[in-house]
Amino acid sequence: MFANITKTGIIYRGYCKYSEIILNFMYSIYFNNRILRICNQEATNQYNPNAVVLHSPDVKTLQELPCLFDRNENIKLLCISTLPCKLEETLVHLCSILTPINAGGGLVQNTAGEYLLIHRNGLWDLPKGKQEEGEDIAITALREVEEECGITGLEQGELLCITHHTYHMNGLHMLKHTYWYNMKYSGDCTVTVPQTEEGISRCEWVPAAKLPEYLQNTYPSIKKVFEEAGLL
């Protein structure tokens, strides 16, 4: 289930992105605008001194935490402090009662250096969607960008990062793992066609200099994608 999940800013598929920064040994799970974070012990209090911190909780506590955190909206950041060698084990226990689902999406740049954003449910977002049965997650990402924005001829790059967020659907507490890929669009046509049946009202090419303005009205997990790309 977690074989390809990225520790934020650390190792995925054998590649060490920021190995010199020990503080980046962590996982973040987004509950709307709040974060449940798993950190190594050295990092715990250096991200936010106002965070609520749990030190090496037992398995039963870990399994109960997602529901407890979901109900307590007064806690904005909950950090689980553990040893670096226990990060993945802690994540598995923490997510054991959640229903997992995979999705793929893209951070698309055109030849003018603009980035493709969509406007959905009143917020700026990136195109993404659920993985179909038997589908490679990279193909999911490409397909969903094409479907949601009405463009073709995309060049898919490397996996940028993976974000994790929760939501409720049909009485289930879902945990979505979204695999984000760098993509390039080299075509001449900048016309997009928003997939309105998916709640998308607009697709817009945004210059890099204007991204901070647009991303004031987005999800924290989407901001994280731009941070991983070095754009924020």
Please name the amino acid found at residue 44: T
Average pLDDT of each block of 10 consecutive residues along the chain (232 residues)?
34 29 67 91 64 91 94 92 88 93 97 96 97 97 96 95 95 96 89 93 96 96 96 93
Q: Is residue 6 part of a domain?
A: no
Asked whether residue 110 falls in the same domain as residue 224, the answer is yes
* DSSP secondary structure, 104-140, as one string: EEEEEEETTSEEEEEEETTEEE--EEEPPTT--HHHH
How many folded domains does the chain comprise?
Answer: 2
Q: Is residue 144 part of a domain?
A: yes
Give the per-residue pLDDT at 66.
95
Contacts of 88 (CB under 8 A, 6+ apart): 2
Query: What is the helix (H) or strand (E) element at residue 222, kind and residue range?
Result: helix 220-228
Measured torsion, CA atoms of residues 83, 84, 88, 89, in degrees rounded to the nearest 10: -30
With CA atoms as reference, report the closest residue to 79 among 46, 110, 121, 102. 46
- Look at residues 94, 112, 131 and tell me which one is the last residue of a structural domain: 94
C-alpha 109/C-alpha 101 separation (Å) is 27
* CATH assignment of the domain containing 211: 3.90.79.10
Give the per-residue pLDDT at 141.
98
Give the per-residue pLDDT at 7.
35
Q: Which tokens go with 46?
A: 């250096």
